[in-house]
Amino acid sequence: MVEEPAPRMSHSNSRSRQVPLRELAVFFLRLGTTAFGGPAAHIGIMEDELVRRRRWLSREAFLDLLGASNLIPGPSSSELAIHIGYLCAGWRGLVIAGSCFVLPAALMVAALADLYVRFGKLPAAVGVLYGIKPVVIAIILQALWTLGRTAVKTTFLGFVGLISLCLTLVSTHPLLLLSVAGTIACVPHLRNSRASLFTLPATPIVGAGLATTASFSLISLFLIFLKIGVTVFGSGYVLLAFLRSDLVVHRGWLTDTQLIDAVAVGQVTPGPVFTTATFIGFILAGVRGAVVSTVAIFLPAFLLVAVSGPLVPRIRKSNVAGAFLDGVNVASLALVAAVTWQLGRASLNDGLSVALAALSLIALVRFRVNSAWLVLVGAIVGLVSQS
């Protein structure tokens, strides 16, 4: 069937059309409740539903918003939803689209966190997590490979990534690592550019000094996740490196086992990977901790989308800013590689777990099996093996 041409619009509304708030809320609630597969899947669903089928915005506008989301820190698919909400329904649309996309996943993760706290030591729960963890490692490795093929655009960026990996292995703080990598990546462009320091993204430095105390409080929890929301570029899996550095290594609030459990539970639910923060907040401080950590990690996304619109054209035209973000992206992959190694050591401790991870990786890369099905299979295998 041939698609009908999109209706012609006035110049002022040629890139999008106004959408009733109720329609916006219903769509993003459904997306947040059913969209498994991570950011790439979320973006694909939004393009198919909102550009091709509903024609809420043009393909050009969608690509512009996607590019803008990748230029700022935070969860890219959530920021894309927030951008679309603003474009289609103004400030109220911004709040409604983002909240409705995040809320279902946050509620599901909080419910699972409650079960984990109550029954996490029961044989059934232990078995399920035992089977899911190797699958999670495979999912992260597959994401690392896919993102690496996109991020390492040149030999020089590969060199920056190698330096970043070496710095990661000597326990360099993630914020410092991202800043150094971005600066190195800018060097070839600075020689031929008159760009001022104003055009360089300063975000990785913001919040570097926040939450340096090891004592626990809701305020310190809020500041930690606020800092992470302001500074994490690239894939949502980069979040793991920041969580491990802040909560496992520097503060000792979590163990490696609890961190991989948090990631594993996050894979069982749809929606943003960043709702891992909801799970961790619940473990540390119950319902209040879940609310605090969720608000803190997603708040920067709403604020950055609100203020970045007018700046996006200027940033995208800057070779220096683009090079900085290229460096940040390859450094982010180095962080993912290092944290995956640490989590793998905590999770792949016998023949069955290693085999499950290997088979899951083959299924993902060779046969493109949906990760949600692999998580389900892993849970069943774990449950059977531990019964």
CB-based burial of residue 13 (10 Å sphere; 0-12 exposed, 13-18 middle, 19+ buried)? exposed
Residue 166 lies in a domain: yes
Q: How far is it, in rounded angstroms, from Cα 4 to Cα 236?
A: 37
| 3-state DSSP helix/strand/coil % of the chain, to nearest 5 | 75, 0, 20
- pLDDT over threshold 50, residue 25: yes
144 is written with which tokens?
Answer: 């690392």
Q: Are residues 25 and 132 in the same domain?
A: no
54 is written with which tokens?
Answer: 């509903």
Residue type, 58: S
Hey, how many other C-beta atoms are within 10 angstroms of the C-beta on 224?
27
3-state secondary structure of 210: coil
Long-range CB contacts (within 8 A, 24+) of 148-152: 148/333, 151/234, 151/326, 151/329, 151/330, 151/332, 151/333, 152/330, 152/333
**DSSP classification of residue 28:** H
At 205 the pLDDT is 40
Domain that holds residue 310: 99-386
- pLDDT over threshold 60, residue 112: yes
At 145 the pLDDT is 86
Q: With cut-offs at 50, 70 and 90, classify the pLDDT of residue 100.
A: very high
How confident is the model over 45-53, as a mean pLDDT?
85
Q: Are residues 279 and 365 in the same domain?
A: yes
120 is written with which tokens?
Answer: 């996490």
Q: How far is it, in rounded angstroms, from Cα 255 to Cα 248?
A: 6
Region of 20 please: left (phi>0), alpha (psi -120 to 50) or beta.
beta
Full DSSP string of 62-93 = HHHHHHHHHTSSS-HHHHHHHHHHHHHHHHHH
Q: Are residues 29 and 164 in the same domain?
A: no
Q: How far is it, in rounded angstroms, from Cα 344 to Cα 382?
A: 16
Q: How far is it, in rounded angstroms, from Cα 47 to Cα 62?
A: 7
Residue 7 lies in a domain: no
Q: Are residues 75 and 132 in the same domain?
A: no
pTM above 0.75, yes or no: no
The 10s digit of each residue's pLDDT in 270-318 is: 888 899 999 999 999 999 999 999 999 999 999 999 988 656 556 656 7
Residue type, 325: L
Phi, psi of 73 (to 5 degrees): -70, 160
Residue 212 lies in a domain: yes
Which one of 70, 98, 126 terminates a domain? 98
Q: Are residues 109 and 86 in the same domain?
A: no
Q: With cut-offs at 50, 70 and 90, classify the pLDDT of residue 29.
A: very high
- Cβ contacts of 318 within 8 Å, gap of 6 or more: 193, 195, 199
Average model confidence (pLDDT) across the chain: 81
Q: What is the dihedral of CA 72, 74, 77, 79, to 10 degrees?
A: -60
Highest-scoring range by mean pLDDT, 2-11, 154-163, 207-216, 340-349: 154-163
335 is written with which tokens?
Answer: 């962080």
Pick the range with the lowest mean pLDDT from 83-92, 112-121, 376-385. Answer: 112-121
- Cβ contacts of 93 within 8 Å, gap of 6 or more: 19, 21, 24, 85, 86, 87
Residue 5 lies in a domain: no
How confident is the model over 210-238, as a mean pLDDT?
78
Which one of 98, 123, 148 terminates a domain? 98
Higher pLDDT, 205 or 57: 57
Instruction: Give the percent of the chain with pLDDT over 70.
Output: 82
Which residue in the block uniquely carries the two structure tokens 């390492």? Answer: 152
How confident is the model over 83-106, as a mean pLDDT?
94
**Tally of domains in the chain:** 2
Residue 1 lies in a domain: no
How confident is the model over 119-141, as a mean pLDDT?
77
Phi, psi of 6 (to 5 degrees): -65, 145
Which one of 83, 98, 113 terminates a domain? 98
Q: With cut-offs at 50, 70 and 90, classify the pLDDT of residue 78.
A: very high
